[in-house]
Each structure stands twice: as C-alpha cells, then as structure tokens.
Amino acid sequence: MKKNRKIFIAVDTNSTSRAKKIIQYTKKLKIGYKFGLEFFNSKNGRSFVSKLKKKIVFADLKLNDIPNTCSSTIKTLRDLKINYLTVHISSGLDSLKAVKNFSGKTKIVGVSTLTSLNDKDLRETGHTRSVKNLVIQQAKLAKKANLDAIVCSAHEAPYVKKIFKKEIITPGIRLVGDKAKDQKRIMTPKKAFENGANSIVIGRSITKGNIRKNIKKLIKSLN
Ligand code: C5P
C-alpha cells in the first residue's frame, strides 16, 4: 500500500472483547481504529478507549449541536488521546469553529452527507440539492472553518479535492462482492484511493465473519 494512504477500521460493536479481537488481528498493519456511537455508548466502551496505547484513535461521535454543546463536549473528551473527532458540517459554521477552537492536538473531521443517503433521501429531508452539489457546498464550509479533514463518499472525492486540500476520508467501502447493506454510495478500497481518498473507513467488510481472511483480501486488493 502507498505510504500516505491510511485505513481506519470501524470498530462497530458493543463488545470490548470483539474490539480486542479486531485490534489483535490487525496489529501488524498501520491502521487507525474508529469508535462510533455504538462502542462509545456501550458499558465499557469509553474506558476501553481511554486505555488504548500507541493506536490511532478516531472518535466518530458525529457532533451535531449548538456551538456551546459542541465545545463543551470536546472539553469532556480531554482525558482521552483522540487523534480524530467528527462533527457534522450541517451543524453550521459557528459550531465547527467552536469545536476547532478547543480541539488541541485532535484533528477535527467534518462529516458531509452520510454515505447511506442518495438524492431521493435528501429530497425527503427537505434538501433541494443533489448529493454531489450538497457535498461540494459542505466542503466549502469545512474549508472556511479550517477543519483538518472531511468525510464524504469516494464518489464525491474528485470534486471535494478541488476545494478541500487536506485529508479526505471515505466510508462506504466494500470489498469486491460484498453487499452494500444500508450504504448507498459505496466503492471498493482500490477505486476509492484512485478517486482521491487519502484514507478509507471500512467496517463490516472486515469485522463481520473471518477478520484475518478479510484483512488479507483487503491488502491483496490494494497491491
Ligand atoms: O460497515 P461499514 O463499512 O458500512 O461502516 C462504515 C462506518 O463509517 C460506520 O461506522 C459509519 O458510522 C461510518 N460513516 C459512514 N458514513 C459517513 C460517516 C461515517 O458510513 N458519512
């Protein structure tokens, strides 16, 4: 795999023993671990993250609130060594700036439009723009707020790249042959990197079933 490319494994489980297994089976790789709402809100999730050593920790808490709540939240996370923290770009420029203000060494990642949504889903929520145009607008706001990274699908990466010059992280990744499930804007790891992603987030394609076998398949697909 090329040097400047990163892989984040989505540790989407409520079980610390499953999380340990995922980390153990992938420890030889230079990989980051993404912990989302399911893991952080599980009984022992936060404390598990607080004890991790020498790992790239991605807290996918997707903050989406008023500026004061967002900045207060980031302050309560200070005891953890978090490398990346997500905030929804749709929470607005003031919230994004508030989070950035208190981020310290943590990289603030703006989440654009969820990869589980398509144009029809957006219309249902009252948006009049297409996914592509909304993500372009969100990339402009992420740039204005001086965020450190952005999350979008690999389909939008080529357009986002022209606006947002820092790290582009793409979830919605599936190994060849794997089902999309609830994701609607998916791509294979190789194609996502070719499309301009700097980092990919991959969950169920790795963590469901035989983790070791899935990891081998992922590495092979990137060589
Ligand atoms: O299992 P799968 O590979 O679909 O997991 C994708 C992960 O990325 C999940 O943890 C999900 O919460 C996260 N994510 C996403 N789309 C976004 C932002 C985050 O799928 N736009």
Q: Which of 167, 179, 176, 172 has its CA nearest to residue 202? A: 172
Q: How far apart are the first and last CA of the chain?
A: 6
Q: Which two tokens stand for residue 175?
A: 């190994």
- Tens digit of pLDDT for each residue in 26-41? 987 889 999 999 999 9
Q: Which two tokens stand for residue 84?
A: 């990346």
What's the pTM? 0.97
62 is known as an active-site residue:
yes
CB atoms within 10 A of CB 54: 5
Nearest-angstrom CA–CA distance, 55 and 70: 25
Q: Output the pLDDT for position 3.
A: 76
Q: Output the pLDDT for position 103.
A: 97
On whether the CB atoms of residues 92 and 65 are closer than 8 A, the answer is no
Distance from residue 173's CA to the centre of ligand 1 (Å): 8
Q: Output the pLDDT for position 157.
A: 98
Q: Output the pLDDT for position 15.
A: 97
Q: Output the pLDDT for position 87.
A: 98
Helices 131-144, 93-101: inter-axial angle, 10-degree rounding: 40
Q: Output the pLDDT for position 50.
A: 98
Regions of the chain with pLDDT less than 70: none
> Is residue 78 exposed (0-12), middle (13-18) or buried (19+ Cβ within 10 Å)?
exposed
Distance from residue 10's CA to the centre of ligand 1 (Å): 7
Q: Output the pLDDT for position 183.
A: 98
Name every protein residue with a CB atom under 6 angstroms from any ligand 1 atom.
10, 12, 36, 60, 111, 114-115, 151, 171-173, 183, 201-205
Nearest-angstrom CA–CA distance, 36 and 62: 8
Q: Output the pLDDT for position 4.
A: 84
Nearest-angstrom CA–CA distance, 56 and 49: 11
